[in-house]
Amino acid sequence: MCRKATCLAFLLAAMGQISYGALVAQWGFDNVLTDSVGTLTWTANGGASFSTDAKQGTHSISFDGVDDYLSVTPTGSLSVLFSTKTVSLWFKANATSGTQVLFDEGGSTNGLAIRVNNGRLEVAAQDNQVTASVGVDSTSTEWTHVAVAFDNG
């Protein structure tokens, strides 16, 4: 069962810059941290662990809401600055108060982030230091699917 923060059941990334709509990475978190499409493997940090509370497959990844996270060194197509990208994931928050980062990629110039922030599901994209964000009220503690599409700014 998820502890204080969030379980991620599935994460995929597709980038149009490589080949329009091409799936470049997919992680099922089904008791493994390896990419089923490419060669990327997450590193569990701070005690992130597998849980049998899952939306797809038999496992998800569980975070304690304090210092757990996954990291991956982008290589190949994921290390290229993107002009188009889609990120899709399932998550289950045990609470929707406070801030819980679900996905964060990029830096101070270009990037994409998804988070739960005090009862809102928020997405932000940054392109050449110009930020756009959108949010929707979300107080569900059930499995929720999120898909974000970024298309050339």
Cβ–Cβ < 8 Å for 131, 112: no
Kindly give the confidence (pLDDT) of every residue in the chain, 153 residues in length, as a single tens digit, with 9 standing for 90 and above. 343 345 555 556 554 444 456 777 888 888 999 888 877 888 999 999 999 998 888 999 999 888 899 988 877 666 666 667 788 899 999 888 998 889 888 777 778 889 999 999 999 888 777 888 899 999 999 999 999 887 776
Letter for the amino acid at 13?
A: A
Cβ–Cβ < 8 Å for 59, 30: yes
